[in-house]
Amino acid sequence: MSEYKVITVPEVAVIKEIKKEIEDTSTFYLEFENPEVAKNFKIKSGQFIMCTIFGAGEFAVSLPPSPENDRFHISVRAAGKVTKVLHSLQPGDKVGIRGPFGNGFPFDEIKGKNVIYVAGGIGIIPLRSSIVHVLQHRNEFGRVIVLYGARTPQDLMYNYNIDEWRKIEGVEIYTTIDSPAPGWKYEVGFVNTLVEKAKVPVDNSVAFVCGPPIMFNSVIKDLVNRGMREENIISTLERHMKCGIGKCQHCAIGRTLVCTDGPVYTYKQIKTLGEQI
C-alpha cells in the first residue's frame, strides 16, 4: 500500500489526425500533451486504454499500434453515447487517456510458432497491434496467416495496411466478404470457411481469434475440429467497462475481471468461466 500510482486521473492527449476507416468507424491519431508521459507510455499488444471524452464520459478502447515504432492511435466505432461524441471531434481537440490496462497477448511465448489471426469486422482492431509486431519480427515466427472477413468490401478495416501486408513475403493474407460484390477479387463466404482454405496448421501453432460472438463460436469450432488445442486459441473478450482497473466489477465474467485478468484469454480458460461470451 505504500507505493501506488494514481490511476483515476487521465493524461491529456491531442487528436492529431482522423482517418475514416469504414461507415461508422474512424481511426484517431493521438499525441500526449506532456512529452514525459509519452515517453513512459509503454504498451503490450492486446492491452487497452480508458479514453475520456471531456463532457461525455469514458470508454474502453483497444490499442491497435504495435509496441514498437508505430503511431499512437485508436480505432473507434460510434456505438453509443460517448463514442458518438468522439466522432464529432476535430483534429486539435483533446481527450483524456488512462492506461494501458490489461494483460496483453503473449509475444515471447509464441516465438518460433506458426501464428494465425482470424478476425471478423472490427474484431481486427485489437489484433492489429500483434499482427504488426509479429510482422516487424517476421523471421522469428513460422507461418504467419491473417484471415479477415467482413460483411461487404466497405466494411473491411485497415485496407491500406492490408494492402501493404500482402506485399510482405511469407505472410498469407486471406480476406473474405459475406456475399459476392462487384469488383471484389478475393474470397466470398464466412471467415470460418477460410480456416479450411488456408490449410491452417495446428501443430506448433497459435491462433488469435476476435470478432462478434457468432463468428467467434463458429471459428473456434472449426479450429478445434482441425485439431487445434484449446490452450493455443487466444482471444480478447469484451465486457461493459467502467473503471479499467478491476474495481467496478462491471466486466466480471465468472471468477475473473476482464480488465485486469483479461482481456486476453485462451479458449481453454474461457470455457471454464461458466458464462456466455
Partner 1 sequence: MFLIKKNEVLKLAQELEKSYAVYGPVVEKESGQAFLTKVDSVNDIDLNAPIPALPPKSVVFPQIEKILGYKYDRNSKNVDIKMVVVPQAKAIFGLRSCDLAGIQCLDRFFLGQEFVDDVYLLHRKQMFIVTNTCTKPFAQCFCACTDSGPSAKEGYDLNLTDIGDSYLIEVGSDKGKELCEKMGLQKSEAAHAAEKVKVVDKSLDSFEKEAVENKAWISRVMNRITTGFIKPQVWEFIGDQCFECGACSFVCPSCSCFNIEDFNKPDTAVDRMREWDSCSFEGYTRMAGDHNPRKPIEDRRNKRFFCKLSYSQSKKYLRPGCVGCGRCAWVCPGDIGLPNVVTYVRREITEREINE
The count of other CB atoms within 10 Å of the CB of residue 168 is 11
Which of 41-49, 126-134, 194-202, 248-256 is the region at the interface with partner 1 (rule: CB under 8 A)? Answer: 248-256
Say whether residue 183 binds partner 1 (CB under 8 A). no
**72 vs 160: CA distance, rounded Å:** 17
Return all residues near 5 (Cβ < 8 A) that are at least 6 apart.
none
Site stretch for ligand FES (CB under 6 A), options 105-113, 117-125, 212-220, 244-252: 244-252
Q: Is 261 in the site for ligand FAD (CB under 6 A)?
A: no
Does residue number 12 form part of the binding site for ligand FAD (CB under 6 A)?
Answer: no
Least distance between ligand FES and beta carbon 250 (Å)? 5
Cell of 194: 477460410
Identify each DSSP E strand in 91-213 by its residue range.
Answer: 94-101, 114-120, 144-150, 171-177, 187-188, 205-210
Residue number, 25 or 256, with CB nearest to ligand FES = 256
Q: Is 55 in the site for partner 1 (CB under 8 A)?
A: yes
Query: What does DSSP assign to residue 151?
Result: S
The length of the chain in residues reads 277
User: Which residues form the interface with ligand FAD (CB under 6 A)?
Assistant: 48, 57, 59-62, 75-77, 79-83, 125, 238-242, 263
User: Which residues form the interface with ligand FES (CB under 6 A)?
Assistant: 241-244, 246-251, 257-259
